[in-house]
Amino acid sequence: MPGGSPLPCAAVVLTGKLITIEGVDGAGKSTLAAALLEALTQRGVEARLMREPGGVQTSERVRELVKDPALQVGARAEALLYAAARAQLVEEALLPALKAGEWILLDRFVDSSLAYQGAGRGLGIEAVARLNEFATGHLSPHRTLLLMLDADTARRRAGGRGDAPDRLEQEGAGFFARVRQGYLELAEREPERIRMIDASAPPEEVLRQALEQLADLLPQRAPW
Ligand code: TMP
């Protein structure tokens, strides 16, 4: 076929919902993801929780590689590794689930690469966006919850987890300031999709804000 195989999501109807959770390390994504999963179930929505990089076997292997502090990984290789992990997740898990009408709660997706590799590493948001359009076949989340937190609190929380910092977590304050700025730019560009949440609030309040930002996607509750 001229021009290669068709884009995976160009011609099919995706009846499920892809909700992504984004933010700098230490913003509380995992805590929100777990609480949101439970809250959605209570509202009759069966959702599946996945993370990036990871979610399927090949992508989990890439995760080990890309986080390993013993390895030297340049900015371009880093962007390509995240994109490769993502391409496999999309093809193997996300598209089949979305076609089957499932809800997926995804801890990080393309916006992480735009913020971390595009802004943080300085590769440029546009260049990394093009790479990811190829990787995902233009799959875009129905909604993105962006947890925003001041840099000091995020760093304190990320450092307080107890495990040794991975390759990315070893980066300095300047890197995370650029990542944060990148996220803000993305939210400004796409306010309908990307909804900012104040991650400095207590977990129950963060969950309340998240549900508010998803309200129009949720099935209507019966009035009785
Ligand atoms: P996490 O799952 O613990 O958040 O770890 C993923 C790390 O990888 C985190 O430091 C953010 C980083 N990352 C990128 O730099 N680009 C990406 O595209 C993704 C998905 C993650």
Share of the chain above pLDDT 90, in %: 79
* pTM score, whole prediction: 0.93
Integer CA distances (angstroms), 26 to 38, 103, 166, 219, in order: 21, 25, 13, 31
Of the candidate ranges 33-37, 61-65, 146-150, 161-165, the one whose mean pLDDT is the lowest: 161-165
In ligand 1, the atom with minimum distance to the C-alpha of 120 is 15
Number of H helices, E strands in the chain: 9, 5
> Is pLDDT of 3 > 50?
no
Which pLDDT score is estimated for 6? 45
CB under 6 Å to ligand 1: residues?
A: 25, 51-53, 82, 108, 112-113, 116-117, 168-169
pLDDT at 40 over 70: yes
| Helix axes of 57-67 and 75-89: crossing angle, nearest 10 degrees | 160
The candidate with the shortest Cα–Cα distance to 182, out of 193, 172, 190, 171, is 190
DSSP letter string, 140-166: --SEEEEEE--HHHHHHHHHTT-SPP-
Average pLDDT over every residue of 187-201: 97
pLDDT of res. 222: 61
The atom number, within ligand 1, closest to the CA of 166 reads: 10
Which range scores top for mean pLDDT: 40-49, 116-125, 154-163? 116-125
Rounded distance, CA 77 to CA 80, Å? Answer: 5
- pLDDT per residue as tens digits for the range 69-120: 999 999 999 999 999 999 999 999 999 999 999 999 999 999 999 999 999 9
What average pLDDT does this structure show over 41-68?
95
Q: How confident is the model at residue 1 (pLDDT cuts 50, 70, 90)?
A: very low
pLDDT of residue 155: 83
Q: At 10, is the pLDDT very low, low, confident or very high (cuts 50, 70, 90)?
A: low
Whole-number mean pLDDT of the chain?
A: 92
User: How large is the average pLDDT for residues 169-174?
Assistant: 88
Mean pLDDT throughout 186-193? 98
Calculate mean pLDDT across residues 39-62: 95
Ligand 1: atom nearest CA of 82 is: 18
CA of 112 to the centre of ligand 1 (A): 7
